Amino acid sequence: MLVFIQVVGNTLTITGVDTWHEGMYQCEAKNTIGMARSSAQLRSLSLAPTFEMTPVISSKQGAVGGEVTIACRPQAAPRATIRWEKNGMEVDAVMANGDLYLTDLAMSDGGRYTCVATNVLGEARSSCALNIQGEERGCKCSDYTM
């Protein structure tokens, strides 16, 4: 990970923070009237993915031909990578924010969808049962001869 430390004016910016950067930081300001100090404690948060506060909705309804979005909002630090599975197979309809977005729904889209959140500290899963309602549209053919 690239670490960048920059001081501009009265602001200290550290990007790519790691546990190595933890500690007490002090800012000292001086002028002709006197001096002042301010301190801040920096701690690096490390958290394996969890859905304890925001589990994926347990079930959702969709209609044939419609669309559905299922949100995935795990807590994790560093940020988790999100993937979705349907009945154990990876699904490609993942939005940039990690939500699952399905369009032109068919009866075959129904099933159990699982959001899988992964970071260097671990993995967590949360699932939603998607139920599709309505009838498939298409050609109904009959077997008869004239």
The two counts, helices (H) then strands (E), for the chain are 0, 13
**47-133 CATH choice from 3.40.50.2300, 3.40.50.10540, 3.40.50.620, 2.60.40.10:** 2.60.40.10
The pTM of this model reads 0.67
pLDDT tens string, the chain, 146 residues long: the values are 566 788 888 888 887 776 777 888 898 889 999 999 999 888 877 889 999 988 999 999 999 999 999 999 999 988 999 999 998 899 999 999 999 999 999 999 999 999 999 999 999 999 999 999 988 766 555 555 55
Q: Which helix (H) or strand (E) holds 112?
A: strand 111-119
Pairing of strands 4-8, 23-30: unpaired
Residue ranges covered by each domain of the chain: 4-42, 47-133
- What the block records as the tokens of 77 is 């630090």
Q: Among residues 73, 112, 110, 68, which one has the least CA distance to residue 89?
A: 112
